[in-house]
Structure 1
Amino acid sequence: MDLDRLLDRLRAYVEHETPTGAAEALNSFADRLLARYADLGGTARREHAATGDHVVADFPGEGPRAEEAPLLFLGHHDTVWPFGQLESMPWRERDGVVRGPGVFDMKGGLVVLEAALELVDGRDHRPVRVVVIADEEIGSPTARELVKSESADAYAAFGFESPHPNGDLKTSRRGSSRVRIEVTGREAHAALDPGTGASAIDELVDQLLVVRSLVAGYDDVLCNVGTISGGGRTNVVPGKASAELGFRFVDPETERAVLDAVTALEPVRPKARLEVSVMSNRPAWQPSEASAELLAAVAEAARSVGQTIGGAAAAGAADTNLTGGLGVPTLDGLGPRGKGAHAVHEQVIAASLAERAALVAAIITSL
């Protein structure tokens, strides 16, 4: 496999910046994918979303397996990086390592997927369906139903997110939910008439303490307060405040109990109003016998190309939460090896692009 060609494509993808929510940039990148998948023999279409279009492509099977259920490949083309990140974090290639915003999460995975499709051209295999999401980094709020519908007839689902550091695949994921708490208080002069006011900030702080106490009652629940905003002047009792929280769960029962409790929060102050909304939700993808059997088949495919592959649970969430949660045999982590997702040292081991492409090709032709 021509590694230089893979790196050229990866560089072009990385230097096409695609922040989540930047619809014009994401749609332009979707145009690239549509053309590329058509060149590879797929029938591709875009699924419109206001914050950026998703891409779906179907590749026919070949030979006696052409009518079998498809393999579903999941990826995304949005990144956490804002426009201009390339100025301080440019594409760099040195000592077999490439760096740049989105190189690991997950434009490297998109290049691996394309290279694998090239490798299986002319070989017998079941159909392949590719779904590339435009808002994965914020929980795929506009793509949830698309992933569910496109996985309905899938034989198995594979994600092209990053693998574990040693290259092993991901066999389950925590559930992930984003929750917004918005407080409306009552403004007043902080010195002359504080009693007629109701501090939205004080109310928010008290609610966050309630949430902390609630989470402490459950094992293995993670809660991160990601943003807080509100208020304006120190001499004004603040009338508005909000926070966004990220929750992680290991099982759906705990997830439901915690989210029910959080969304049922009541104001502490009579003059305050509270609105709690679930911004996005990915169900817990728990270990299953089906995924274990799929991992065994993938390990056999890996051996056929001289590789050894294992699997382990993952803490992070992705679109494979949806397929795994629906009971579709699922594995994730087929992207290249590297490190630094969402960090300024984000990087990929260049040689692993070709290695992973060979692995994915073996999966396509053997499952």
Structure 2
Amino acid sequence: MMIERLREYVGAETPTGDAAALNAFADRLTTRYAELGGAVRRIPAPTGDHLVADFPGRGPQASAAPLLFLTHHDTVWPIGQLRDVMPWREADGIIHGPGVFDMKGGLVVLESALEEVADRDHRPLRVVVVADEEIGSPSARALVTAEAAGVYAAFGFEPPHPNGDLKTSRWGSTRVRIEVTGREAHAALDPGNGVSAIDELVDQLVAVRRVVAGHDHVLCNVGTITGGGRTNVVPGSAAAEIGFRFVDPSTEESVLAAVAALEPVRDAQLKVRVLSNRPAWQPSAASDELLAKVVAAGRSVGQEIGGAAASGAADTNLTGWLGIPTLDGLGPVGKGAHAVHEQVVAATLTERADLVAAIVTSL
């Protein structure tokens, strides 16, 4: 049943930014969560609706602080990836396809766990499904922060470490856009009156490298560059989007302040703006204590679970940064996130659902 549902979800492609596709998928989740006893709210956003589903508690802890489950339904893959590049395939216990690992497998694990605990005693449960997680959740940060208020703990359903260990902290992640406005002119007849936005952008990217080189434990990736139009026209505009990763808040603050303070080196206009930000979630005693409880829950269902820091960012950065006991990586074991060999180990779908059910009923 879990594999069939995963195939259904992978077949409904949901690239970030395609609001129609994401909202159609949100319709499926709304129906499914309602069937499982949840009260579902839809929060409109330009990139697609976010969902919040609240499941009542049962038994002695029916009125206790809830557990928060963080998920997302967007993927990095465009419409047609399934048909043209990454067809669904099952072989030797491995399932291949766009989104199986990041993170439709996690959505299926969560649903199955909710079904398992439907008749058991547990705290209230709150599920948040984000529509633009793959670009840093720019429209969902406030939602995640609001829904995290007063929860007992937060869990993410992103992929785990390769050996199945959960993620106990994450680097911070910030996306920055540098926009340059120069002045167009004929590149041969009047070059002196032109100001090349592309040349200015190149110099600014070199300056960014110097900033990064002055700090330890910073990752910097220039993900896109755009600008210009014709070789006989001095380009009047150019832009780049940069992804930064930071191990701690002080490094993040220092680097971003230096990037924001960049000045033009020629007669051009420069604009630097933050597109999305997830602060560093650092190791904490609260998350360590939560991990110890999860280890015990895992042993109750015959599983040995560990935990380790992670360099990738997700919405759990926000809850961890806020000081809420947080763990991530409850999705199935696999590999190839954001790569054409994306895959999950089929048997771990059931294993992870059993683990989540044990966590829910033991906390």
Match of 2:96 in 1: 99
Q: Does 1:361 find its partner at 2:353? A: no
Match of 1:302 in 2: 298
Q: How far has the Cα of 1:217 moved from its partner?
A: 0.4
Q: How far has the Cα of 1:193 moved from its partner?
A: 1.6
Match of 1:260 in 2: 257
Match of 1:171 in 2: 168
Q: Equivalent residue of 2:290, what SS? A: helix
Q: How far has the Cα of 1:212 moved from its partner?
A: 0.2
Match of 1:151 in 2: 148
Q: Does 1:242 find its partner at 2:230? A: no
Q: Equivalent residue of 1:163, what SS? A: coil
Cα offsets for 1:65-107 (capped at 9, x unmatched): 1010000000000000001001121111111111110010000
Letter in 2 for 1:362: A
Bigger shift: residues 170-179 or 227-236: 227-236
Q: TM-score, normalised by structure 1?
A: 0.98
Q: Equivalent residue of 2:82, what SS? A: helix
C-alpha distance in 2 between matches for 1:267 and 1:156: 46
Match of 2:229 in 1: 232
Q: Equivalent residue of 1:209, what SS? A: helix
Runs of 4+ in 1 over 3 A off after TM superposition: none
C-alpha distance in 2 between matches for 1:197 and 1:89: 46
Match of 1:208 in 2: 205
Aligned partner of 1:139 among 114, 120, 136:
136
> What is the root-mean-square deviation of aligned Cα atoms in Å?
0.6
Letter in 1 for 2:91: R
Q: Does 1:192 find its partner at 2:189? A: yes
Q: How far has the Cα of 1:191 moved from its partner?
A: 1.8
Q: Does 1:32 find its partner at 2:28? A: yes
Cα offsets for 1:131-171 (capped at 9, x unmatched): 00000000000000000000011100000000000000000
Match of 2:284 in 1: 288
Match of 1:41 in 2: 37
Match of 2:81 in 1: 85
Q: TM-score, normalised by structure 2?
A: 0.99
Q: Equivalent residue of 2:318, what SS? A: helix
Match of 2:109 in 1: 112
C-alpha distance in 1 between matches for 2:157 and 2:81: 23
Aligned partner of 1:338 among 334, 341, 347:
334
Q: Does 1:182 find its partner at 2:156? A: no
C-alpha distance in 2 between matches for 1:101 and 1:222: 26
C-alpha distance in 1 between matches for 2:91 and 2:180: 50
Match of 2:322 in 1: 326
Bigger shift: residues 228-237 or 336-345: 228-237
C-alpha distance in 1 between matches for 2:172 and 2:313: 7
C-alpha distance in 1 between matches for 2:11 and 2:212: 41
Q: Equivalent residue of 1:225, what SS? A: strand
Letter in 1 for 2:179: E
Match of 1:22 in 2: 18
Letter in 2 for 1:156: A
Letter in 1 for 2:319: T
C-alpha distance in 2 between matches for 1:278 and 1:139: 11
Q: Equivalent residue of 1:226, what SS? A: strand
Q: Output aligned runs, 1:119-130, within 5 Å.
A: 119-130=116-127
Q: How far has the Cα of 1:278 moved from its partner?
A: 0.2
Q: How far has the Cα of 1:208 moved from its partner?
A: 0.3
Aligned partner of 1:68 among 46, 64, 76:
64
Q: How far has the Cα of 1:232 moved from its partner?
A: 1.4
Aligned partner of 1:12 among 8, 11, 26:
8
C-alpha distance in 1 between matches for 2:186 and 2:135: 38
Q: How far has the Cα of 1:121 moved from its partner?
A: 1.5
> How many residues are aligned here?
362
Gap regions ≥5 residues in structure 1 = none
C-alpha distance in 2 between matches for 1:51 and 1:207: 30
C-alpha distance in 1 between matches for 2:65 and 2:352: 23
C-alpha distance in 1 between matches for 2:170 and 2:119: 35
Letter in 2 for 1:326: L
Gap regions ≥5 residues in structure 2 = none
Cα offsets for 1:246-278 (capped at 9, x unmatched): 000011111111111111211110x20001110
